[in-house]
Amino acid sequence: MGAAMRKVVRALRAGYTLPSRPPWAHGLVCGIAVAVPLLVGALLGRPHEGATMALGAYLVAFGDASGIPYGARSRRLLRLTLFVTLGVAVGELVTPVPWLAVVVLGLLAVAGARWAWIGLPPVLGGVLTFFEGFHPEEGLRLPLTALGGLLLSVLVLAPWPTRRMRPLREAFDTAFERLADLIEAGAGDPLPDEQWQRLRRAASDALDDAKTAYAYYSAPTAALDRAPERLMQALVRVFDETVALRGLRSAAGEKVKSTAWRVALDRTMTAQADALRGLARGGGPGIPAEALAHAAGLAAETENVRARARAGRERLTASANLGQVLRSADRLVLAVRAAASLAAESVRFRPGLPRLPRPAWGWWGRGEGDHAVRLGAITAVAVAVMVGIHGDFGKWFVLTVLVSLRPTYGDTVDRVTLRIAGTALGSVAAAVLLALAPGPYTLVAIVFVAAAIGFALRAVSYGYWAIFSTPLVMLLSDYATPLGWEAAEIRVLLTVGGGLLALIGARLLWPHGERVRLPPRVADMLDAHAALARALAGQRVAGFEDLVDQAARAAGRVTESLDRLAKEPGGKAPEALRSAVAYAGRVRDDTLTLAAVQRASEAGSGRASGMLDAVADRLEGLAHAVRTGEEPPPADDLDEALEELASRVDTLAKRRRGELAEGRAEQMTSVRRELLFAAAAHPALRTLGADTVKLSAAISRGILSPRV
């Protein structure tokens, strides 16, 4: 009991925390869209029509998403208006046959949960309409609902012609800032792995957000303008070279005696970070041109080390390593400069009209439809329970199920807790306000305030949203019903009942679905990372960034499963698997470093390819064991392969010394070419081998060992 109370307290504390600044302007727009129809209805003596239109605006606002590009948002709002109107029509059609409504509303809930482009608002509209009943005199319900949705859409999209590119610009600015943080972290003394990985994830997430924002624009604009796409490619190169530089810098630091190159590299990287921050603040393409000059100092220091190596005062391998650092730094500088030249052009305003969406239907993968079917089944049960009552208040029982039942049991507990608390507080507040100042204009004022504050807080706190949305929905859907203390008590009791049904459904129907999904996702992650090593073994560097993205997404799905597993009944995410995800991130970093080495080298190494194949074989064999439950294959001796490569580096260095003695210092001989690659690749391969071993061990502890 004590543990349960602690969970409730934690849910309440988290639910009423504001992690960021609410979008007050969006809330104000929603408040106006919902309150204006009520005010007009009160002035014209048609309060029911005003409430119907206001409810349409509310349901469309419920499904809206602020912060996405205006073109995509316009399509979303028009689609929501259509589907909400259809949902209301479905509710009207099934009203005369209550038991048919049980099936139809359940199926509607399945569709809303399974396909995001349908969503929950049409289901809410159908439920509210069904329980309100069909009244022939309200023949304008459907057009008024659509009109309310269109009013909300017009108000939200009013700034669209002049601010159409703003979300894309903001996404790119965030990416500039996060990449600048990552570059700056690569300068100076190396950060601890945990801190580096945190900055790396932030930069990767910012790039993903920018890609998503660009994807909204790409369909209508890609044929006319490729600047945003080219900017994305430049930013991906910045990310890849920054990650590669960290590994190359570490390898060079172990071999190069001189330290002046470190200072030059730090200045170069800091200048690039400042250049990106300048772009985020609206700087022009001239800023990176200044930063380009700092790379000249690094080139001079690299040439000094090269001269010292020829004179025997530095190791030849040190010169090779530092040469790789210089080439990677040059690619970073050029990528930043390309980003600067494309930044302004990529978010330039161009007139255009929104295009209709092309929804992707898709169907069920393994375990993907569990939540949709569960929500549909529990919704049908809730409607069936309330059919016998079929009163004005029965809808609160069903609505609580719809908005509280989540994909995991833990999330459902949190949502039910906040829903009950919010309903209790909101019902009491509405009853008190109406008792103090009854009348239609008081109702309009309450609706405006509740909508403005509620929709602003909804984006950052579900707890506050539950408080303000309760009187809002009560007043809109129960416009003709007195909101006294008795009504408030009934709503709270029905909310508690609906919450309990949602908890029962989450506990009984597929409560351990994530345990089924986790092993295949872990295997997919291993295969995706094996593909990285396999591509490098075959020296297939073209398109390597796409493989890295696929591997990162596979690791992200494992993290998502682990987070959900921790919220299942009795579930606990194995810490070994969380460690495995971290090691997978290091493997991606190692392969990015090796890819940078391969891009700068015309020759590869058979021994390096052999080791990369061994890494891929180990990961693929482990993935097969995870999928089938068989014993994993015996581990390869990666250390032996590394020793062979190190021996080859020493042999090449001796042969290169002989060429220098013969006066062939400036010739790009086959020995020099292979030495440049092998000397730079060996440190990266060493860390790749170590991280692969750690990844394999973590997977074995987290997945394979518990099966024994």
Task: Give the pLDDT mean for 669-677.
Answer: 51
Q: Token digits for 290?
A: 């200044």
**Across the chain, which distance is largest between two alpha carbons, in Å?**
103
State residue 673's pLDDT score: 52
Task: Give the pLDDT mean for 610-633.
Answer: 80
Whether the predicted pLDDT of 298 surpasses 90: no
**Helices marked H in 45-140:** 47-63, 70-94, 98-114, 121-132
Which residue pairs from 663-667 have beta carbons closer than 8 angstroms and sit at least 24 positions apart in sequence?
665/310
Mean pLDDT score of the chain, rounded to an integer? 76
pTM (2 d.p.): 0.70
Residue, of 344 and 218, whose pLDDT is higher: 344
In tens, the pLDDT along 529-568 reads: 999 888 887 777 777 888 888 898 899 889 888 888 877 7
Most confident of 124-133, 144-153, 344-353, 426-435: 144-153
Which residues, 6+ apart, have CB-to-CB distance to 534 below 8 Å?
A: 612, 613, 616
The answer to whether 273 and 186 are in contact (CB under 8 A) is no
Closest to 328 (Cα-Cα) out of 688, 684, 685, 702: 684
Amino acid making up residue 300: A
In tens, the pLDDT along 71-81 reads: 778 888 999 99
Q: Token digits for 558?
A: 């494992």
Residue, of 87 and 350, whose pLDDT is higher: 87
Q: What distance in Å separates the CA atoms of residue 565 and residue 568, rounded to the nearest whole number?
A: 5
Task: Give the pLDDT mean for 270-290.
Answer: 69
The answer to whether 346 and 500 are in contact (CB under 8 A) is no
Most confident of 102-116, 356-370, 610-624: 102-116
State residue 680's pLDDT score: 57
State residue 15's pLDDT score: 62
Burial 612-628 (b: 16+ CB within 10 A, else e): bbbbbebbbbbbebbee
Closest to 92 (Cα-Cα) out of 66, 128, 60: 128
Most confident of 136-150, 565-579, 608-622: 136-150
Whether the predicted pLDDT of 649 surpasses 50: no
CA 79 to chain centroid, in Å, comes to: 23
Task: Taking the CA atoms of 360, 363, 368 and 372 in sequence, report the sign of the dihedral they define.
Answer: positive
Q: Which of 167-181, 399-413, 515-529, 667-681 has the lowest mean pLDDT?
A: 667-681
Orientation angle between helical segments 166-186 and 227-255, nearest 10 degrees: 10
Other beta carbons within 10 Å of 135: 11
Burial 520-546 (b: 16+ CB within 10 A, else e): bbbbbbbbbbbbbbbbbbebeeeebbe
Whether the predicted pLDDT of 150 surpasses 60: yes
Whether the predicted pLDDT of 126 surpasses 90: yes
Burial 103-118 (b: 16+ CB within 10 A, else e): ebbbebbbebbbeeeb
The answer to whether 415 and 404 are in contact (CB under 8 A) is yes
In tens, the pLDDT along 419-436 reads: 888 888 877 777 777 666
State residue 414's pLDDT score: 82
Task: Give the pLDDT mean for 501-512.
Answer: 80
Other beta carbons within 10 Å of 10: 12
> What percent of the chain stands above pLDDT 90?
15
State residue 529's pLDDT score: 92
Per-residue pLDDT band at 439 (split at 50, 70, 90): confident
CA 408 to chain centroid, in Å, comes to: 18
Residue, of 100 and 285, whose pLDDT is higher: 100
Q: What distance in Å separates the CA atoms of residue 564 and residue 551, rounded to the nearest whole number?
A: 20
Per-residue pLDDT band at 352 (split at 50, 70, 90): very low
Q: For the purposes of burial, counting CB atoms within 10 Å of the CB of 324, is it exposed (0-12), middle (13-18) or buried (19 or more)? A: buried
Task: Give the pLDDT mean for 279-296.
Answer: 60
Instruction: Using alpha carbons, list the distances in angstroms from residue 13 to 20, 240, 421, 461, 565.
Output: 15, 40, 12, 11, 22
Task: Give the pLDDT mean for 371-390.
Answer: 87
Whether the predicted pLDDT of 48 surpasses 50: yes
